[in-house]
Structure 1
Amino acid sequence: MTHIRHPRQGVSRRRLLQAAAGLPLLAACHDSTPLRPESAEQRVFQHGVASGDPLADRVILWTRISAAQAPATVRWEVYRDPFLTLRVTQGEGEVSGDSDGCYKVDVSGLDAGRTYYYRFLALDQVSPTGRTRTLPRGAVERLRLAVCSCAYLPDEPGTRFHNAYGQIAQRADLDAVLHLGDYVYADSDLSLAEYRARHAQYKAQSAELREAHRQHPFITVWDDHETTDNCWQDGGYQPPDKPLIPFAERKQNAMRAYHEWLPIRTPDPADLGRIWRSFDFGDLLTVVAPETRLHARAAQAYSFNRVGSPIAGAEGRELLGAEQMDWLRGTLRAAPTQWKLFMNPVQIGQLYAGLPDEEGGGTRYRNMDQWDGYAAERGRLFDILDGADGGAPVQDLIFMTGDWHCQFANDVLRAPYGAAYRERGEGVLGTEFTIPCVSSGLEGYEPAELFAANPHFKNHEFPARHGHALVDLRRDTATVEFWHTDTVETREHRYRLNVGFPLTAGANRIGELLRTPTPTNTEAPSLAP
């Protein structure tokens, strides 16, 4: 994003070696967010366990052998129960320095829609017990998903906390966690060792992040800060005190560390940027996880932010690219589900910076790093949604968006400033919810200014708060909730619902705001002990 710069996060040699070796980087937990403490016997698994990219018959399991100095054998076991008495499957593999001690396995042969518990064994040590869940098949009556993004963490431990992750970890009734990007802030990193150390820092320093991974499967996409601020396919922010290296090399280093350290499926090791994929939760929901940064994105046209700029809106300026756009068209049209959810790292709704200026220069977009800076590409996506490309329109599409460090809720359409929408509400193609950030620097705008210039925006919290979103989906209705934590400076915090947004299948618009949370599923399987 173009409007925020966190303090530089340099990695000292001492901290790089600490993180890579798995030495303690944690502050004590307060009782307000109970987290599972690590025992001395589990030191080899200090970076925790995780699962991700669930399908109906398989899921990725992840860990890191933090103390491995040479190739080591890793054993994994999957169980039906949290007490690890009913074993379903098991196996083993080798881990070495080639993967920075990280180990992933794609466990197959599992039952659909079932919660499993797992553990790893290596170097005579046993990992913490993890918990995961496969996707359902067939008819599904209800789903609950947590959605999060933008989790800045300073170098010094104990100065900022991921309290939103801690709250997500305690929710037993989640089917999955969706992460919209900026999982780490690696703007000052260049080498593979530095990117690996950044991921190691986050996993070692944030007990809340480890616990959320331990309890729930994650589906992730990256945004810019996993590589560097405001990056595109051929460039991005260069730290002024670091030597310049080819961006292709830097990008490869960032992507490799990401694939090593996260429980993401890697379909093509020769092209780590091809992370776009989709997930069908039975007949209720299709989640689309695109790649919007490193594969095809053109450079940002920051100096051409006037609405209608022929340069910023040029046909050749891509965000997804033709190959991914074709995939998206086929995936959305073939989706066998009532609802579709687009994991959207940057905002798609038009966002004017204000009313037309007095000098006659016209209106400007506020942020050219988002879809506003790629108007033609957004138009091609809208062609898919409304059927202007000759296909069937896409119904009940929800954009869940990160990046902004504040919250918005808005309708998505081609012409939000025209009379057809202003007077009759016509042309809406979907809804968008830009979620509170986990721990990054907060943004925000005076609501009167925002709403006057942007009639399609229905909510904006000012001043902004940290937190996450919760999506509750049913056959005919859905609710998107914004949950807030009141501080990231200490683990002791308050956690509350800010607002809920009801959606009705077939309506393609946001209903009256809610202030009461959707009920939890009291029959959800137990959290891992």
Structure 2
Amino acid sequence: MHFTILAAILQVAVGVYATALFDKNLAYHSPFVDNPQISHDTRSIQRRNVKRQTQDATKFDDEHYPGFYGSDFSNSPFVWSGGLNFTHSVASGDPFDTSVILWTRAVPTSPDGTSELPDQSVPACLSFAVSTAADLSGKPIAHGQAFTSYDVDWTVKVEATGLRPDTKYFYQFSDCTNPKTISPIGTTRTIASANTPAKNVNGGKPLVMAVFSCSQYQAGWFNAYGFAAHNTTADIFVHLGDYIYESLGNGAHIGRAVLGRELATIFDYRQRLNQYRTDASLVYAHQHAPWITVWVRVGTWMIMRFGLLINPPEVYTVNSALLQVADNAWKAGTADSNDTATGCKWSPSGACFTDRKMAAVRAYHEWMPIRQVDARDQLRIWRNFQIGKLLDLTMLDTRQYDRDLTDVYYNTVVNTIAAFENRSLMGAAQEKWFYDTVSQSKDRGAVWRVVGQQIVFTQLNESGAFDLDAWDGYRANRARVLDHLYKNKISNTVILSGDSHANWVSDLAHPNDTTTYNPTTGAGAIGVEFAGTAVTSSSSFGSGIQPPAADAVSRVLVDANADLQWSEGSFRGFFTLSIDTHNLNATYYAMRNISFANLDGFASANFVVKSGENKLSRPVAGGTVNAGVLRSQT
């Protein structure tokens, strides 16, 4: 009788603790903090995995009982002990001052070395440890355990807490049942606490961010990620969108054939993320710095450009970066998958936009080292990072959240309504939040306001054509942003943009308002925009366009747009921001060849913004660049 009672108590206690280890893995949680009902039922998963906790343990030589801390897992049938394979190394992201998200993927392996899959109903247990020592020697600063299972594609995402602000850390995962089975060691960091004096952030050294967008697997190798991780001193990687694409395309000739089909189900999105994360440069970049990401979609940036058909939708139908959904997304649909009264017959995949979006968000939540977001029924991901009093990094969602109708190729009405006062790119709630955030940043004494968002902000008049899927399709919303900065005298604002597959650097001013803005001196500007090219996605100037031809296009553009100071459209790459209390330096990097894996690149241009000047320092880029066209070049 007493044994039965004790066994029952142990079963309950172990069940509670095991469930807690499932809950430690944030991948089981709902992607949205305010919608917990769509999380995995970890109690049900635990009940599924409990097999023989109440069995007589006398046959076990190690006097085993199903505990966790300090216990031997080798005979626990409800925790996999046949070996684990860390298939995609490690990653980290969304650093706060005292915590950071850590990620890995650990797939059970067959103990006999055969290809037969292990028991999929049994979870795996992962331990993690965080240290300031590169070899993780000594007592860990933070540690813990978590379960994973096929329910979340064997991903593990935990929050390492109790860390010191503004500190570099090293971390590693291991198999709870065999501590000798370990992941690679990852490098991450926390950010400075909000009240840290600007001059003390990052130990007084400039804080460096590497900024990326638009990585299409079939278009080339992700060399830009590896170059940044190996050849720059980037502390944080910022990704502005199109981390994956939902399309197929033809990359077989360079060894980049895409698996599966156009993405629609959670299996599809998981498979695509899995394949992208096998690129060696991307793996290395995730392993060596924390990432801050926002979702978007790139796609057919401009159908007709300079009389040439560029990026036709059947070739470059793409997906929402970091939210992998579909081409030219807005709040109720995309270019080829809309929620309509007639159902989803227009979708090539046969899936409604809402269904695809939820599958994409679930897979994204599993595979990316990002914290939960606040859905508010519209997938909120916009958020702010206060990095001491040096800067606020404000990440916007200019693709999904309550975005009014965009250009989806067949709705030419957008061209006639682009300037309507009631059109919003961000939605009223996000727009108000953004104005409040930059105002509060000024009030709290932050030196810089860096705004990460997905699409080109500055007006780009391209021989009378405008990209209606960028801010040019939401002109009143852009005017409201500029008005808020001007009227409230909010200085040192730097907007970061992706999506266009080309490089653009501009002073921020009302479009072509040369009465108050002087394009030669920069007087009258209220900030700067740095827009970066793609990691691999084809140039919006023309697929495979060479520098001389791209420069000819750039010369037309800089001559036609008063705010635009530099344009470059041939090279794939990224840029870095080096930020201190007095200067913000932007260095653009170009990859020479993305048809095979390499780290061959060069700095194509460097720009300086001095605190308080709200413009690019003159002469722009020092008067000379290694690629592209300056408005005024010596």
Q: TM-score normalised by the shorter chain: which range applies?
A: 0.7 to 0.9
Which residue of 2 is the match for residue 165 of structure 1? 225
Q: Does the 8 A contact of 2:576 with 2:587 survive in 1?
A: yes
Greater shift in the superposed pair: 399-408 or 410-419: 410-419
- Aligned-partner Cα distance in 2 for 1:455–1:496: 28
Which residue of 2 is the match for residue 281 of structure 1? 387
- Aligned-partner Cα distance in 2 for 1:42–1:421: 64
- Choose from 372, 375, 395 the match for 2:475: 375
- Aligned-partner Cα distance in 2 for 1:483–1:439: 13
Report deviation, 1:241: 8.1
Which residue of 1 is the match for residue 534 of structure 2? 437
- Aligned-partner Cα distance in 2 for 1:324–1:215: 32
Q: Is the aligned partner of 1:214 residue 2:294? A: no
Q: Does the 8 A contact of 2:246 with 2:263 survive in 1?
A: yes
- Aligned-partner Cα distance in 1 for 2:577–2:129: 31
Q: Is the aligned partner of 1:395 residue 2:491? A: yes
Which residue of 1 is the match for residue 93 of structure 2? 52
Answer 1 or 2: which has greater helix percent.
2
Greater shift in the superposed pair: 241-250 or 393-402: 241-250
TM-score of the aligned structures, taking structure 2 as reference length: 0.68
Cα separation, partners in 2 of 1:409 and 1:268, compared to 1, 3 Å: closer
- Aligned-partner Cα distance in 1 for 2:412–2:173: 52
Letter in 1 for 2:562: P
Q: Is the aligned partner of 1:129 residue 2:235? A: no
Q: Does the 8 A contact of 1:397 with 1:430 survive in 2?
A: yes
Greater shift in the superposed pair: 248-257 or 440-449: 440-449
Greater shift in the superposed pair: 177-186 or 273-282: 273-282
- Aligned-partner Cα distance in 2 for 1:113–1:468: 25
- Choose from 122, 134, 145 the match for 1:92: 145
Unaligned runs of 5+ in 2: 1-81, 110-119, 248-261, 298-318, 338-345, 542-549, 627-634
SS at match of 1:166: helix
Report deviation, 1:270: 7.7
SS at match of 1:106: strand
- Aligned-partner Cα distance in 2 for 1:267–1:493: 35
- Aligned-partner Cα distance in 1 for 2:331–2:354: 8
Unaligned runs of 5+ in 1: 1-40, 355-362, 518-529
- Choose from 401, 404, 411 the match for 2:500: 404
Deviations 1:91-138 (A, max 9, x none): 011112232211111111100110000011126321110010100231
Letter in 1 for 2:593: T
Q: Is the aligned partner of 1:201 residue 2:201? A: no
Which residues of 2 match residues 39-438 of structure 1 at below 5 A? 44-67=85-108, 69=120, 70-86=122-138, 87-122=140-175, 124=178, 125-137=181-193, 138-139=196-197, 140=201, 141=204, 142-154=206-218, 160-171=220-231, 173-187=233-247, 188-204=262-278, 206-224=279-297, 225=319, 226-238=324-336, 242-268=348-374, 273-301=379-407, 303-304=412-413, 309=416, 311-335=417-441, 336=444, 337-354=446-463, 363-365=464-466, 367-387=467-487, 392-422=488-518, 425-438=522-535
Deviations 1:228-268 (A, max 9, x none): 11111111133888342221111111112111110011044
Letter in 1 for 2:148: V
- Aligned-partner Cα distance in 1 for 2:502–2:489: 31
- Aligned-partner Cα distance in 2 for 1:286–1:461: 28
Q: CA RMSD in A?
A: 2.3
- Aligned-partner Cα distance in 2 for 1:299–1:262: 28
Letter in 1 for 2:481: L
- Aligned-partner Cα distance in 2 for 1:422–1:216: 39
Cα separation, partners in 2 of 1:243 and 1:222, compared to 1, 3 Å: closer
Cα separation, partners in 2 of 1:284 and 1:434, compared to 1, 3 Å: same
Which residue of 2 is the match for residue 15 of structure 1? none
- Choose from 572, 590, 608 the match for 1:484: 590
Deviations 1:365-401 (A, max 9, x none): 2x110011011222222232122xxxx3321011111
Report deviation, 1:417: 4.2
Cα separation, partners in 2 of 1:304 and 1:349, compared to 1, 3 Å: farther
- Aligned-partner Cα distance in 2 for 1:168–1:272: 33
- Aligned-partner Cα distance in 2 for 1:97–1:393: 52
- Aligned-partner Cα distance in 2 for 1:269–1:42: 37
- Aligned-partner Cα distance in 2 for 1:465–1:81: 38
SS at match of 2:217: coil
Cα separation, partners in 2 of 1:418 and 1:346, compared to 1, 3 Å: same
- Aligned-partner Cα distance in 1 for 2:156–2:355: 23
Q: Does the 8 A contact of 1:165 with 1:212 survive in 2?
A: yes
Letter in 2 for 1:331: T
Cα separation, partners in 2 of 1:407 and 1:42, compared to 1, 3 Å: farther
Q: Does the 8 A contact of 1:385 with 1:394 survive in 2?
A: yes
- Aligned-partner Cα distance in 1 for 2:91–2:434: 28
- Aligned-partner Cα distance in 1 for 2:611–2:173: 42
Q: Does the 8 A contact of 1:414 with 1:427 survive in 2?
A: no
- Aligned-partner Cα distance in 2 for 1:383–1:255: 34
Deviations 1:476-529 (A, max 9, x none): 111111011101011235211110011111111112214699xxxxxxxxxxxx
Q: How many residues align?
A: 455
- Aligned-partner Cα distance in 2 for 1:285–1:456: 24
Cα separation, partners in 2 of 1:43 and 1:72, compared to 1, 3 Å: closer
Larger radius of gyration between Structure 1 and Structure 2: 2
Report deviation, 1:42: 9.6
Q: Does the 8 A contact of 2:378 with 2:402 survive in 1?
A: no
Q: Does the 8 A contact of 1:415 with 1:421 survive in 2?
A: no
Which ranges of 4 or more aligned residues in structure 1 deviate by more than 6 Å? none
Cα separation, partners in 2 of 1:72 and 1:493, compared to 1, 3 Å: closer
- Aligned-partner Cα distance in 2 for 1:475–1:433: 19
SS at match of 1:334: helix
- Aligned-partner Cα distance in 1 for 2:612–2:558: 26
Identity across matched positions, percent: 31
Which residue of 1 is the match for residue 57 of structure 2? none
Q: Does the 8 A contact of 2:84 with 2:106 survive in 1?
A: no
Report deviation, 1:351: 0.7
Letter in 1 for 2:96: L
Report deviation, 1:207: 1.2
